[in-house]
Amino acid sequence: MDFNTCNFAMDHEFSPAAADFPDPFRLLIREECASTNDELRKLASQGAAEGLVLLARRQTAGRGRRGAAWFAPSAESLAFTILLRPKAPKSCWPRLALAAGVAVAEALDAQGLESGIKWPNDVWVHGRKISGILVEAGADFVLVGIGININTADFPAEVAEIATSLRLATGRPHSRSVVLAEVVRRFAVRSAQIDSDFPVLLAAVRSRCVLTGREVRLTTSQGLLRGTVAGISPEGALLLETPQGVQALLQADEIRLVTQAM
């Protein structure tokens, strides 16, 4: 199959979304796959061109950072991965997590829902996670996996207190196709801002950062740290104010607010 020229989106629900994708983005749908990131990695290795968006109707082994499972019930959520082959230096590629976060947040704005970014790769609404992002790089490509809770009304007990959906937050159902199209349109703009235009992207991230000014506890390569988030550096690092001074963190796991009040 020629992944560069085929018209993939022949689907009643998502054809309207695909029709609104800007070039070079195009949609390929899988009825079921374990992980959209893993599936698209195979296609990228076979020569698929930049802009391929792989969406799974049912994802059986979706994951977040550190291999955490991602809850994505069929027909209630969006699970998709976008293939990029950036011209920007590889040092800029991690910024695509921020670009995707802003794109998702802006797409939710279009649905009448105010959202924020929990650096570096989660989108929050009312103190709860509504979207997660997983960026993985290959030799000459990047995979940007995005999961968004759209119409989920009930979550498993283990995440019920920390997760939400568009439906729960607004009190009404939403079109998955409309949200998908909006995310891709916004991402087309924001993903182009990871290099020379990064200050523009960074301003958008800073304006939505839910951690700034909050006391957090997090795990880094240096071990467990606790401090107050002072903001985000010009390079996109999280600035953590500790008794030892301000530290710039490019990576951190399990960032938790010391107090969950929003």
Does 200 share its domain with 230? no
Q: Tell me the pLDDT band of 1, cut-offs 50, 70 and 90.
A: very low
Does 68 share its domain with 84? yes
pLDDT at 60: 85
Does 68 share its domain with 149? yes
pLDDT at 253: 79
Q: Could you list the residue range(s) of the whole structural domain that residue 191 is in?
A: 15-208
Q: Is residue 4 part of a domain?
A: no
Alpha carbon distance 172, 181 (integer Å): 19
Whether the pLDDT of residue 188 is over 60: the answer is yes
Does 117 share its domain with 223? no
pLDDT at 233: 97
pLDDT at 192: 98
Alpha carbon distance 257, 262 (integer Å): 10
Does 89 share its domain with 147? yes
Does 155 share its domain with 234? no
Give residue-wise pLDDT tens across range 17-34. Answer: 999 999 999 999 999 999
Whether the pLDDT of residue 69 is over 80: the answer is no
Please report, for the domain that includes residue 236, its CATH number: 2.30.30.100
Instruction: Indicate the average pLDDT of the chain.
Output: 90
Does 70 share its domain with 145? yes
DSSP notation for 176-243? HHHHHHHHHHHHHHHGGGSSTTHHHHHHHHHHHBSSTT-EEEEEETTEEEEEEEEEE-TTS-EEEEET
Give residue-wise pLDDT tens across range 95-122. Answer: 999 999 999 999 999 999 999 999 988 9
Whether the pLDDT of residue 159 is over 90: the answer is no
Does 132 share its domain with 67? yes
Does 236 share its domain with 221? yes
Does 221 share its domain with 124? no
Q: 249 or 72, which is more confident?
A: 249
Please report, for the domain that includes residue 83, its CATH number: 3.30.930.10
Does 135 share its domain with 242? no
Q: Is residue 10 part of a domain?
A: no
Whether the pLDDT of residue 4 is over 70: the answer is no
What total of structural domains would you count in the chain?
Answer: 2
pLDDT at 75: 83
Give residue-wise pLDDT tens across range 195-240. Answer: 999 999 999 999 999 999 999 999 888 789 999 999 999 999 999 9
Q: Is residue 154 part of a domain?
A: yes
pLDDT at 160: 87
